Amino acid sequence: MMEIKITPQLIAEHGLSQAEYELIEQYLQREPSLVELGIYSVMWSEHASYKNSVKLLKTLPKEGAAMLAKAGEENAGVVDIGDNLAISFKIESHNHPSALEPYHGAATGVGGILRDIFTMGARPIAALNSLRFGNPDNPKVKHLLKEVVNGIADYGNCFGVPTVGGEIYFEDSYEGNPLVNAMAVGVMKHDQIARSAASGVDNAVIIVGAKTGRDGIHGATFASIELSEESEEKRTAVQVGDPFLEKLLLEATLEVIHAGLVVGIQDMGAAGLTCSSSEMAGKGGVGIEIEISKVPQRETAMTPYEIMLSESQERMLVIVEPQNVEQVKAIFAKWDLDAVQIGRVTGDKLLRVLFKGEKVAEIPAETLILGGKAPVYCRESQRPVYLDKLKIFDQAVLPEPDDYNAVLQKLAGSANLCSRHRVFRQYDHMVQIATVVEPGSDAAVIRIPDSDKAIALATDCNGRHCALDPYLGTLGAVAEAARNVACSGAKPIAITNCLNFGNPYKPEAYYFFSEAIRGMGDACRAFETPVTGGNVSFYNENPEGAIYPTPVIGMLGYMEDYRMATTQFFKAASDQIWLLGELKASLEASEYLKEIHRIVAGTPPEVNLDTERRLQKLVLDLINQNLLSSAHDVSDGGLLIAVMESCFAPDRLWGCKLCFPEQIKPSQLFFGEAAGRVLISAKPENRTSIENIAMQAGISCHLLGNVTENGSLAVNDKINIKTQTLYESWWQGLKL
């Protein structure tokens, strides 16, 4: 075995503590080789091992009648939707790579999450994303935004998956550390589900897909450190993707899976060949022996260390029974892809790595993996003292605006509320011709091929709310995602999550993480939406400090009939406009407070989980009884922003005439934010039915006014502004 002197500096360079190195020596009963040190480095990084998060993640609800693959068991979660059909979906981060190489970082984030889906045996039918940037007026932020969007668009469009939804927020805390979270969704039949565990002694281990290069080496370790000037030098940790090759890999992979030729299969994402081989062996309780000189390489003189740690894209590791090896090779050759047997499954539970016949690593597989003997920590948690000061905020001291029209117009064009058309119009959202509801409404709706069934998809999280109160903010994120899906006509059934936080070794950062997990668990139990899996991204910090804690929720909803899909847009003049939920709202922690008064303070909206659950059911009941013309979640920006957005139908601009109660302070009524509210429109003849059903559900129901054709948004004697004027501010607000 190749030997090298292990120094404290070398250990630190590999992101390992001295105690962790001593544990490695204990497991091996000797000093590790350089290759072994590199293997442990990436497998024990936060990105691969979840060593600082797994204890808390285990408290999340993962059980459900529809669950076919639980969180952490496979590459992605799988949920039953009936008639032998299942949905696989997952969201993951590519934050640090996107901060340094925004185009390739975002593109390979999309490629990686798509591979997680089709490695399960599912055909990808939709992609979404959740993005966070700093001040959009900053030239560097504009560059990051443009390149990230280009990377997402180019990869998804070339691969041929519709990018159907997502969200973008701008806050100063993301200035030096943008967030790029990519989500993908696929459909399969129950008998097509592929598993990742290796099994069967002497079964073949085959590497398939692209050739291996030096790109991405130490990517998992790079994703487990804070961004700094020094980390700028780690650009080799950013991979380069090829969507056309991945399209070939998709077809070849599904062909071998659906032909029953695969025993186990895993994507080579973070930590590359190291992660796939060790995890497949560890999950299956077997060993794997590989001769890595046989790995197809696109660069010369690659070392064993480089081959094992490369994160080159568009690669898979496949376990195949010996009699099927030639058939598998032939299928991949048909798609012009490499498929080379590099090893075999053994019964000794060891990951054994050979290079030209020389043993360069031999490690008990279970010591490397999450759920095995990789280190697990519970870090110190401390609530930041400054939160007490931020919560003490009296909205009563805020002066009322002199001109409510001007305030509404300014909010319409503000960074977090304006139109995202300049982004989503770069995405092909109609490829595969199954998109029922396109980007721009509360949730995307995708029809399941050869079926009347459909799914609804949304991503949600208000980082500012989570920064002020991580428990309430995360409750609100899950509730809003569920409301968005319900407003589309679908029943929320499961979530995936992407948990973006600061350095877990800092007690205040760990407090935000632990409280967010508590909030997510409570909300998902209340809504019966189990957590199917996801991703934890720590170390999202820059020299100025940590990002806002951002637990992004990817919500999956299901509807029996795609024709019941509902959008947020008004449909007809004289339709009545209603609010389901309370009129009372607060300016604390709101977009209004930040945008108009430049203040970030107060308590985020309180979330009553029982009320939220009843509201979601009420909306679905009204939709299923054909009583609604539109439904729209009321969230960021408050009630009038929701009304305004409902006026902006794709084919025309509507007006409305509203009459609000005078006893509530206008700014709070117009722009205050509260949880558990949905704006609906309906024909006047449905009024009695709506009121009766809402009363039975125990949900307040307020008639606000009606839709008009006169092109103005009018409220009492306070607001009267042309819809076209609002539309122009909203449409032109975001500049790429």
Residues serving a catalytic function are 47, 94
Report how far residue 16's alpha carbon sits from residue 23's, in angstroms, rounded to the nearest whole number. Answer: 11
Q: Cα–chain-centroid distance for residue 668? A: 32
CB 647 within 8 A of CB 658: no
CB 569 within 8 A of CB 648: yes
All residues at 6 or more sequence positions from 580 whose CB lies less than 8 Å from its CB, including other chains = 615, 618, 619, 677, 678, 679, 680, 694, 699, 700, 701
Report how far residue 248's alpha carbon sits from residue 266's, in angstroms, rounded to the nearest whole number. Answer: 17
All residues at 6 or more sequence positions from 473 whose CB lies less than 8 Å from its CB, including other chains = 461, 462, 463, 464, 465, 466, 467, 516, 519, 549, 551, 604
Alpha-carbon separation of residue 362 from 20, 37, 205, 290, 310 (angstroms): 18, 11, 17, 11, 19
Beta strand spans in 72-189 (E): 77-82, 85-93, 123-133, 163-170, 179-189
CB 620 within 8 A of CB 699: no
Angle at the Cα of 148 (from 144 to 150), degrees rounded to 5? Answer: 120
Q: Cα–chain-centroid distance for residue 241? A: 20
- 3 state SS of 616: helix
Report how far residue 552's alpha carbon sits from residue 535's, in angstroms, rounded to the nearest whole number. Answer: 10
Report how far residue 380's alpha carbon sits from residue 284's, in angstroms, rounded to the nearest whole number. Answer: 34
| DSSP state for residue 543 in the 8-state scheme | T
All residues at 6 or more sequence positions from 524 whose CB lies less than 8 Å from its CB, including other chains = 60, 61, 478, 495, 530, 531
Q: Which of 65, 91, 92 is nearest to 79 (CA)?
A: 65
CB 79 within 8 A of CB 71: no
